[in-house]
Every structure is written in C-alpha cells, then in structure tokens.
Amino acid sequence: MSNSALSKLNDLVKRLTAPDGCPWDREQTPESLADYIIEESHELVAAIRAGKEADILEELGDVAFLLVFIAHLYAQKGSFTLDDALDYNRAKMIRRHPHVFGDTKFDSREEQLKTWEQIKRAEHTNQDGQAQGIFASLPSSLPALVKAYRLNSKAARVDFTFSDDEACEQQVEAEWLEWLDACQNGTQEEQKHELGDLVFTLAELGRRKGIKINEATELANIRFLKRFEQMEAYAREEQRDFSALSRQEKEVLWERAKTDTQSQTSN
C-alpha cells in the first residue's frame, strides 16, 4: 500500500467519523468492529481460495479499511496510531529474522522455526519476568481445526512430536481403531473423545506433509458443495424433484457431477 493510498484511506475514516460524518460510523468502537474483521477476513480467504482476483482486490481493501478504522479509534483515545502499530510490527519482524537482518545462520528450516519460537516467547514475559508458555500466545477463539494445526506446529518447534512420518501414520491407524471400538462399545462421550483424537492426529500428519487440515477440509467442503449443486442442476434440467429421487438415482447424479466437475478442474 502506497503512502498516498494509506493516507487517503485514513483521511476517509476521519471524514466518516467527524461530527458531521456518518452517524453509524461515529458510533463504532474497536469492540463493535471486531466481528466485522472476522467476517471480512473469512471473505478474503474465500476469495483467495477461489482464485478470483477481482474479489481478492475488493476483500483485501475491506480488511485494510477496518484496520485503518480501528487504528484511528485508538488514536482518538490517545493510545497509539497506525504508524505506531506498523513500526512495532516492523521492529518485531526484524528481530525475528536474525538470519536476514543479522549474522545468524540456520542449517535447516526447523532450526529457524525453533529460533523464531524462542524469540517470540522471550518477547512476552509473565509477572515474574519469565517467558510465557509455548501456547500462551495462541488465541483461544481459533477455529478447532486451525488450532489443532497450530498446537502441533508449536509442539514440533520444541521437539515434542512424532519421531518420523511413519510413527505418526501408525498413531493415526491406532486412533482409527480406537474410534471404531468406541463406535461399537462406547458411549457417545467416548466416541466424541476418540473422534477428536483421530482428527487431532490427522492434523499433525497433514502438517508433516505440508498440508493445513483446515484448508484441506474447506477445499473438501467446496468440492462437495459444487458437486451437490451440480446434482440439483441436473435434476432441474430433467424436471425432476431432487429431494424425491431415490438414493440410487442420487448416486448416479453424484457420479455424473463428480466426473463433470473433475473435467472442468483439469481444463
């Protein structure tokens, strides 16, 4: 973002929140805008995953507007400005990249990530001046799949994970068997417990393969939704009530939609 674009956006926010500005904007607080950040961030992520650059352009601007808006509200209270926040982040990134801005050399990406975690922990201390725990900075409100990935990632940075991929795969198999046993003999709470363990271990297996389970699951959601909507479209074309079709008829449409959507993707 150029200085002129950032300045113009900040001027816009000032105008909107001026005494003769927008009544709605003037009523906003950082707390009231918090949910909008989540919503707009989700829309930005959806646009990125869909690969629609026009939508990405729009949603990126929406997120930037909210960040500028919130920074302006804190500046009005005399807390800090957007420049303060950006300068703070710049200094933090320089500090966390000693291999770029200093003489530090890393032999591997794993070593670099461990150092990153050490620097990050040192930045945040408790009341006794001691570094906070490994997971202290992890937001409790993170979606469960994102949190599972981050928990495993942070644990790995302090060498608390499986010795190799095969050991992780074996644990996935063990969790799967425990889940099946719970389905046969356990209570619903026991089933919930074992299903959670299975998903958590799958999150770690995915992480080791460079795959984020939240993203992989969302892509599966998108594929399912696209194929299902295609099934409904086929039924409409044939003037049939989709909900009234038999399971077998739906399966035929599903396979057709699956083939067609795969062809569209490959093209």
Count Cα neighbours of 32 within 13 Å in the Cβ-side half-sphere: 8
Same domain, 86 and 26: yes
Q: Is residue 106 included in any domain, yes or no?
A: no
Q: At what angle do helices 213-237 and 247-266 cross, to 10 degrees?
A: 120
> CA 25 → CA 7, 39, 134, 153, 191, distances in Å?
18, 17, 39, 39, 48
Helix (H) / strand (E) element for 177: namely: helix 165-185
Q: Which two tokens stand for residue 114?
A: 């461990």
Question: Rounded CA gap, 237 and 262, in Å?
Answer: 20
Clarify whether residues 156 and 192 are in a common domain. yes
**Is residue 109 assigned to a domain?**
no
Q: Does residue 235 belong to any structural domain of this protein?
A: yes
> Residue 265: its pLDDT value, please?
59
Residue 124 lies in a domain: no
On whether both 176 and 152 belong to a single domain, the answer is: yes
Whether residue 63 sits in one domain with residue 83: yes
114 within some domain: no
Q: Report the number of distinct structural domains present in the chain.
A: 3
Amino acid at 61: G
Shared domain check, 259 and 203: no
Q: Is residue 131 part of a domain?
A: no
Asked if residue 260 is part of any domain, the answer here is yes
CA 216/CA 224 separation, integer angstroms: 12
The Cα 192–Cα 171 span in angstroms is: 18
pLDDT recorded at residue 150: 93
Extract the residue ranges of the chain whose pLDDT is less than 70: 1-3, 125-129, 131, 264-267
Residues 189 and 239 in one domain: no
**Residue 180 belongs to what domain range?**
144-208
Angle between helices 213-237 and 188-208 (to 10 degrees): 110
Answer yes or no: is 120 within a domain. Answer: no
219 and 197 together in one domain: no
The residue type of 199 is: V
Residues 156, 80 share a domain: no
pLDDT at 95: 93
User: Could you tell me the CATH number of the domain that includes residue 23?
Assistant: 1.10.287.1080
Residues 11 and 77 in one domain: yes
pLDDT at position 131, please? 67
Residue 81 CA to residue 77 CA, distance in Å, equals 10
Are 23 and 51 members of one domain?
Answer: yes
- Please give the pLDDT value at position 158: 86
Q: What pLDDT is stored for residue 86 in this prediction?
A: 94
**What's the CA gap between 176 and 85, in Å, rounded?**
46
pLDDT of 2 reads 56
The whole-model pTM stands at 0.69
CA–CA dist 116, 22 (Å, integer): 44
125: three-class secondary structure by DSSP: strand
pLDDT value of residue 127: 63
Q: What confidence score (pLDDT) does residue 1 get? A: 45
